[in-house]
Amino acid sequence: MTTRTDKAEAPNVRRRELAEFLRSRRERITPDQVGLAHGRRRRTPGLRREEVAQLAVVGVTWYTWLEQARDIQVSAQVLDALARALRMDPSERAHLFALGGAVDPAPGELSATVTPALQAMLDHLEPFPACLQNGRYDILAYNRAFSLLMCDMDSLPREDRNCMWLAFTNDQWRAATGDLEDSTRVMVAKFRAAIAEHLAEPAWTSLQDRLMALPEFRELWDRHEVIAVSDSTKHIDNPHVGYLKLLNTSLWLAPQAGARLVSYVPEDEQTRVRLERLAAIAGTGPSLVETRDDRIPVAVRG
């Protein structure tokens, strides 16, 4: 039974959790990561409080009180600034807003984890398609080859750049997916397994609510299947270059269910050549449309 004392203590617990979370995020970031001079006499692990305040454009005293779990009000705008300053990924950002008791003004914010170095890595993997995803299947960044692999990614609004959403709503994505029925079933099972650790996070529940409005997703969700994330072979019927047989490989950049770099490596010579053509098409922009050399259905390709 919940007592009045328990209810009165809840805000104090929330403030302490927020203070500890902010401190832990501050201590993991180096000055170099945010463009600050390291200095010779630095004893503090990660950033100093005044540096976080500077990056977030808030008062040093106010931020210090926040890390001391003082009873102060914090707005959604300030939490947004802190999330950006501390380079929080979407899951961390959602946790920050939950602890702060505020509604995230941009729950789909994705750019915090995409550093110039990661984007350069994606670009240098061409002609192999590659993207950066998080545990919710949000597509955080991608290279030119990936931009046309399943659909025209550049034409999509940021909030729709999610593999789960596209697999159920985007005609181009669905047409390119070999064995669509099995692919969507596996994806839903992986999502159900991943969301178990994020049931209280607004970004996850918001995506789930959005997907539950789709009858096809809801039918698969009600099966309660769970599958762990793993590498697999993808059969893709690309509208520009034809059939592609690709090995889907994930390089984790954070603990599983965090961000990961997903690359698509050709499993045969024909796919390798076609990926080179696809990267070339993507590099020329939308004015060039290359004619496919075949239209053989994926289902009969083996």
| C-alpha to C-alpha distance for 95 and 90, rounded to whole angstroms | 9
Confidence of residue 279 (pLDDT cuts 50, 70, 90): very high
Pairing mode, strands 232-238 and 139-142: unpaired
Confidence of residue 5 (pLDDT cuts 50, 70, 90): very low
User: Do 164 and 268 belong to one domain?
Assistant: yes
List, for residues 191-240, the tens digit of each pLDDT value. 998 888 777 666 788 889 999 999 999 999 999 999 887 778 899 999 99
| C-alpha to C-alpha distance for 268 and 255, rounded to whole angstroms | 31
What CATH code is carried by the domain that includes residue 239? Answer: 3.30.450.180
User: Do 211 and 261 belong to one domain?
Assistant: yes
Assess contact for 106 and 132: CB atoms under 8 A.
no
Instruction: Provide the token pair at 236.
Output: 């893709």
Looking at 106, 128, 147, which one is the last position of a domain? 106
Backbone angles phi, psi at 235, to 5 degrees: -110, 115
Residue at 115: amino acid letter: T
Measured CA distances, 43 to 47, 50, 231, 234 (Å): 10, 14, 42, 49
User: Do 180 and 295 belong to one domain?
Assistant: yes
What CATH code is carried by the domain that includes residue 75? Answer: 1.10.260.40
User: Do 153 and 101 belong to one domain?
Assistant: no
How many structural domains are present in the chain? 2
Looking at 60, 89, 106, which one is the last position of a domain? 106
- Residue 231 neighbours by CB distance under 10 Å: 12
User: Do 202 and 132 belong to one domain?
Assistant: yes
Q: Residue 215's pLDDT is what?
A: 96
Measured CA distances, 56 to 46, 78, 134, 271 (Å): 16, 8, 24, 47
Task: For residues 153-172, give the mean pLDDT.
Answer: 93
Q: Residue 258's pLDDT is what?
A: 62
Confidence of residue 287 (pLDDT cuts 50, 70, 90): very low
Sign (positive/negative) of CA torsion 162, 163, 164, 168? positive
Domain with 12 in it: 4-106
- Element holding 252 (H helix, E strand): strand 242-252
DSSP string, 46-84: S--HHHHHHHHT--HHHHHHHHTT-S----HHHHHHHHH
Backbone angles phi, psi at 249, to 5 degrees: -125, 135
Side-chain-side CA neighbours of 57 within 13 Å: the count stands at 5
Task: For residues 10-27, give the mean pLDDT.
Answer: 89
User: Do 48 and 191 belong to one domain?
Assistant: no
User: Do 141 and 267 belong to one domain?
Assistant: yes
Residue at 301: amino acid letter: R
Work out the end-to-end distance of the chain between its first and last CA atoms, rounded to an integer number of angstroms.
60
Go through the chain and tell me how many residues it has.
302
User: Do 95 and 123 belong to one domain?
Assistant: no
